[in-house]
Amino acid sequence: MNVDDRRIAICQRMAAERLDCVVGIHDGTHFIETHNPVMVLSSFKSLGPAAAVLDRVGALTLIVTPAWDAERARGGCPTARVVGADDIVEALGRELGSIAGRAKMAISGLAAVSWAVASRIASAFPGVPSADAILFDATMTKTGDEIAYARRATRIAEHAYQRMLEIVRPGLSEDELAAELCWYTRTLGAEDNFLLLCSGPHNRAVQPSNGRRMQAGDIVLAEITPSFRGQLAQICRTVVLGHAGDALRRNYDLVIEAMNAGIQAAVPGTPMSTVCRTINSVFEARGYGKYCHPPHIRRRGHGLGFASNQPGDVSLDNNTILAPNMLFMIHPNQYLPETGYLLCGEPIVITESGADALTAKQAALAQIAV
């Protein structure tokens, strides 16, 4: 499947619902947990607020701000008619003004954009229904390009982790390490990196760096999530500054066992909830059942945007049926009372026979001599 096939599927859904066009809106604030309907329709990652208008015969108009970014948009989306603008709402009004009131349309993305943009669009097009389901149902599986980009992003993440192992040491601050990793991923071709990185002798969770200087005996947690051509991939890793004791090695072996059980369970035709339940069962069998639910943990992985994070969370309440070319993260990140929060996780793609991890080397507990 490619982006053209996806647009065809969306047009078929539009025809079934007797829609003349769908509009995707995004405000330019790219976040790992937020769908981007403009990217779904155009594969273009905007600098500012943008809109994509797809009509029922498959013609695409891409409106980008600021106006000077139109040249980049034409290069990135050559099949679209591109309009450069400095006010997305005014430009969208001009584009739709001739059909508003007599054409049946739907809009996707309003719930995720800023109120300044959403309120103006809602006022300009009152009563227009949501197109979220139409667009995002079509993104349950990834295109061939998206999977290839995810593989490239995974390589970048793994190289960044190797760089981390080279430089992490007591006395280095979390912020210094985070800045180096973000810069390093940029040199490897990433356009973004959603990075969580923290340290301590007993972590309660993983969180963004906060300037703390690392110390001997710390457990360093890192979620490294670079984006390549708009597609995210993530790896979750745990590093010890010094020698890992028996309890830490035993608990890390447990989270690896849970992760591998989840990967093995992720086969076509299986509900996503089963993958989560399988991971939980490994911890429950060792007496950690109460730590498998909030406030300790809610999910065991998630989809990988930026365009769409479908098929969603690896959670007990997600009954999406797995199918080939679904791409998501499996990470049984877990708080355990003896050792604190531990990270391990791999991005996987569903194939006809099961789950294929995109990483070249699986997570393992790393020990840094100090």
Q: What is the pLDDT of residues 230-259, one digit of tens each?
A: 899 999 999 999 999 999 999 999 999 999
Does the pLDDT value for residue 100 go beyond 60? no
What is the pLDDT, as a whole number, of residue 347? Answer: 98
User: Residue 101: pLDDT band by 50, 70, 90 thresholds?
Assistant: low
Which 8-state DSSP code applies to residue 130? B
Where do the domains of the chain lie, and which CATH numbers do they carry?
3-137 (3.40.350.10), 144-368 (3.90.230.10)
What region, left, alpha or beta, does residue 219 occupy, with left being phi > 0 and alpha being psi -120 to 50 degrees? Answer: beta
C-beta separation of 199 from 208 below 8 A: no
End-to-end CA distance of the chain: 49
Rounded CA gap, 303 and 328, in Å? 4
Does the pLDDT value for residue 107 go beyond 70? yes
Does the pLDDT value for residue 66 go beyond 60? yes
Q: What is the pLDDT of residues 278-312, one digit of tens each?
A: 999 999 999 999 999 999 999 999 999 888 889 99
* CB under 8 A, 24+ apart: contacts of 43-50: 43/3, 43/76, 43/77, 43/145, 43/230, 43/307, 44/73, 44/76, 44/77, 44/80, 45/76, 45/191, 45/229, 45/230, 45/306, 46/73, 48/88, 49/25, 49/88, 49/113, 49/117, 50/25, 50/26, 50/88
